[in-house]
Amino acid sequence: MKVCVIGTGYVGLVAGTCFAESGNDVVCVDVDEGKIGKLQQGQIPIYEPGLEELIKRNVAEKRLAFTTEIAAAVRVATVCFIAVGTPQGDTGGADLSYVKRAAAEIGEHMDGYRLIVTKSTVPVGTAAMIRKILAARTKHDFDVASNPEFLKEGAAIDDFMRPDRVVIGTSSQRAADLLKELYAPFVRTEQPILAMSPESAEMTKYAANSMLAARVSLMNEIANLCDKVGADVDDVRRGIGFDRRIGQSFLFPGVGYGGSCFPKDVRAIVQTASEHGLDFRLLRAVEEVNEEQKQVLVEKVKSHFGAFLVGMKFAVWGLAFKPRTDDMRLAPSIAIIERLLAAGAHVHAHDPEAMHEARRIFGDRITYHRVNYDALEGADALLVVTEWNEFRRPDFDRMRGLMKRPLIFDGRNIYEPEQMRQHGFTYYSVGRRPVAA
């Protein structure tokens, strides 16, 4: 099948590459000339495990190409995916200006039947809006479908290649058949392709992210209460996770969720609700809890040292909003580091992949270290902010030798308190009793 993907970001690049990998001819389009220029030269603009190899193979086999010329891409493709950003707008709802522009351009350049599919996360009613935009610009036959994406950065290829389910929202049989054909290679182990109305598909994506964000905030509040009452959130997590009605995933407390999806999608659904006269109180609280949770680690630092951290040196391990990505959009690390800097502290940071992003955000206000141990030299404490695997089993003796004090504030509970005590550290985590060296 001939496919074009408009918007070559975390979602569009992965989707386009995976469609090419299953034998389709794919053109990925972006307005960002720098990004497309890099891709045309074989450089991958984002970090996503496994992506580079797939892109290189599919480009070499001429199934995958990159362009800024949307007209040419739309002319060759039967199916046009819209995977542009839908950032938070001024009122909290999704800013659909990129989606509208992409739809208008498809409408102007299509020269026969096209299936236009939104992969971007868009509010209910967007498929209908796109239909109107297209109808005003073309005489050709077309269908519109909603096909929300559920991939996770850091595991995006695997998620796309082996989705738990595929959601297709369309009222057209032809569109549903085309999408089922396109997705058939990815659902060979009987994962369902769920056909529904565009409205239900659009709502499904927001419902999924709301549910997950709510679990994170609920567990964070449970952890904060564990801190107060002397319970251990790890035990509590196990105690509830084996209940099949609850399940094990998304039960880990921490420093709050970030990234380009949960924060904006929770706000967008609250906004959609309010436009329909509903006050989505629960999700407003989910967001509020999350904002406060980003402060929990610095609060622990301050209750250990006192409010003034002037001249103190803190090592921060982990900047990306989660492991295995370089994405720092709304990462909790930003709020944490800003708060440390505001209190007069010096920050020495390390992240395996996100340092270039951090430089864009903090410039020379913090110091960057390519090697995680280097950040520890003379540090008053270490803050663990992202749970990268490479932080899980470090050389604790070496760490203790480098640091001014053996003190760790672990925002992701990646170490065991008792082991940390044995290693000679004073150790604070989230929802578990602190231990003293």
Binding segment for ligand NAD among 71-79, 83-91, 194-202, 412-420 (CB under 6 A)? 83-91
Q: What Rg do the C-alpha atoms of the chain give, in angstroms?
A: 23
Q: Which is nearer to ligand NAD, 260 or 272 (CB)?
A: 260
Whether residue 150 contacts residue 220, with contact meaning beta carbons closer than 8 Å, is answered with: no
Q: Which residue has the tokens 């050389």?
A: 395
State which amino acid sits at residue 22.
S
Residue 151 touching ligand NAD (CB under 6 A): yes
Residue 133 touching ligand NAD (CB under 6 A): no
Residue 106 touching ligand NAD (CB under 6 A): no
Residues 323, 200: Cα–Cα separation, whole Å: 31
Question: Is-catalytic flag, 261?
Answer: yes
Residue 85 touching ligand NAD (CB under 6 A): yes
Q: How far is the CB of 209 from ligand NAD (least distance, A)?
A: 8
The runs of H, that is alpha helices, within 230-323 are: 233-241, 262-275, 281-293, 296-305
Q: Which is nearer to ligand NAD, 32 or 374 (CB)?
A: 32
Whether residue 428 contacts residue 434, with contact meaning beta carbons closer than 8 Å, is answered with: yes
Residue 86 touching ligand NAD (CB under 6 A): yes
Distance from CA of residue 110 to its chain's centroid?
32
- Which of 4, 28, 80, 261 is labelled catalytic? 261
Q: How does strand 381-384 pair with strand 407-410? A: parallel
Residue 11 touching ligand NAD (CB under 6 A): yes
Q: Which is nearer to ligand NAD, 120 or 272 (CB)?
A: 120
Residues 57, 127: Cα–Cα separation, whole Å: 34
HSE of 209, CA atoms in CB hemisphere, 13 A: 28
Q: How far is the CB of 333 from ligand NAD (least distance, A)?
A: 17
Residues 191, 196: Cα–Cα separation, whole Å: 16
Residues 250-279 touching ligand NAD, rule: CB under 6 A, are 260-261
Residues 333, 411: Cα–Cα separation, whole Å: 10
Q: How far is the CB of 84 from ligand NAD (least distance, A)?
A: 4
Residues 288, 310: Cα–Cα separation, whole Å: 29
| Residue closest to ligand NAD, measured at CB | 9
Residue 121 touching ligand NAD (CB under 6 A): yes
Q: Which is nearer to ligand NAD, 7 or 318 (CB)?
A: 7
Residues 23-52 touching ligand NAD, rule: CB under 6 A, are 29-32, 35
Q: Which residues are catalytic?
A: 261
Report the interface residues with ligand NAD, using CB under 6 A. Answer: 6-12, 29-32, 35, 83-86, 98, 101-102, 120-121, 149, 151, 153, 260-261
